[in-house]
Amino acid sequence: MKTEQYLPLLKHPELGERAEFIIRDGFLTDKKSEKKYPIIKKMIDFQVSVKTYDSDVKKGMMFKLNTVFRKYLDFMIQTSIFAGGGVGFINVRKKTKQWIDQVVKDKTLFLDPDDKRLLSYIGHEKCLTVEDLASRNVMPMTEDYPNLNASHEQLPIRSSSFQNIISFFVVEHVKNPRRHLNEIERILKPGGYVILSGPGDVYPSHRVPYNYFNISRYGYHEMFKENNLELVEEYFPAKSWVSILYLCYSTLVRNSCYNKNQFTKFLQMIIFGISLIVSPFFNLGAIFLDMIMPFDKRIYSLYMALLKRK
């Protein structure tokens, strides 16, 4: 969606819903209160609390290579068969597309769109995207700017303004996940749908220190009930053995101990290279074990739900 298209959908995060916004001198400005929010590369920054990656880069060639890898390759590999347990994320993307085809008929609010492939699948012209960059403390790459930078616990969007909302691995990064679900319920039109993805009861910490919760399906169910959201379908993209494999992969390949110095970073590069070769075979083994062993809905790293507002 173009900036001018979604201005009528916006409200102040803290000043309520009565606002008439205009764009003036590089700022989103409310005519009445004169409250201003900067616009950076077409992104409206409601938080003004971000910085760039470059200030965090350690000295040395290995760390510079790691920064390039983190920007351009990390997410794609982590969510592929070349990462142990990465098949779970493949299932997330596949199921999300299936639900999008099933229920998405109108404009969509996409919260934290890490997977740009899904954003492209819906179409940028149909989406308003919100990313909480303060919970990353970094700016994204120029071509990946979200439409809004705002807190997922206090979204600057008017009530009952969207028929579809996608919450993509947001709940673990907000200090109050109940507040996040309450915001979703507020913004969603009656009869509208939510596609929610989040961590299960076992999932490694990530985006540290902005990782607060892993949630079991029972915790999700309680939050759905509290916010008048009917569970249409739930899905477990990574069952027990795939989840265990992902934990092993994170511990062995992505351990923060490798960040000590240049030598350990070089060691990580070797281990990572080996993992690219062996991960597809380990993924096949984990999938086979999950197929032959009954799944009792315990020990899962990823959780998904299709919800409808009553």
**83-117 residue pLDDT tens:** 999 999 999 999 999 999 999 988 999 999 988 88
Q: Is residue 220 part of a domain?
A: yes
Top mean-pLDDT range of 51-55, 64-68, 147-151, 231-235: 231-235
Range of the domain at 166: 49-240+295-309
Q: Is residue 252 part of a domain?
A: no
Of all residues in the chain, what percent carry a pLDDT higher than 70?
A: 94
Cβ–Cβ contacts within 10 Å for residue 225, how many?
11
Determine if the peptide bond prior to 209 is cis (ω within 30°). yes
Residue 57 predicted with pLDDT over 70: no
| Range 261-265 average pLDDT | 91
On the CB side of 306, how many CA atoms lie within 13 Å of its CA?
15
pLDDT of 292: 97
Whether pTM exceeds 0.85: yes
Residue 72 predicted with pLDDT over 60: yes
Residue 12 predicted with pLDDT over 90: no
Helix, strand, coil percentages in the chain from 3-state DSSP, rounded to 5? 45, 20, 35
Cβ–Cβ contacts within 10 Å for residue 273, how many?
9
The number of folded domains in the chain is 1
Q: What's the CATH code of the domain at 138? A: 3.40.50.150
pLDDT of 208: 86
Q: Is residue 219 part of a domain?
A: yes
| Confidence grade of residue 20 (pLDDT, cut at 50, 70, 90) | confident
pLDDT of 41: 81
> Under DSSP, is residue 196 helix (H, G, I), strand (E, B) or coil?
strand
Residue 145 predicted with pLDDT over 70: yes
Q: Is residue 206 part of a domain?
A: yes
Q: Is residue 6 part of a domain?
A: no
Q: Is residue 280 part of a domain?
A: no
| Range 250-259 average pLDDT | 92
Q: Are strands 148-149 and 188-199 parallel, antiparallel or unpaired?
A: unpaired
Residue 64 predicted with pLDDT over 90: no
Q: Is residue 4 part of a domain?
A: no
Greater confidence (17 vs 160) lies with 160
CA pair distance 188, 149, nearest whole angstrom: 19
**pLDDT tens, position by position, 183-210:** 999 999 999 999 999 999 999 998 888 9
| Range 167-179 average pLDDT | 96
pLDDT of 140: 64
CA pair distance 72, 83, nearest whole angstrom: 16
CA pair distance 64, 66, nearest whole angstrom: 5
Q: Is residue 81 part of a domain?
A: yes
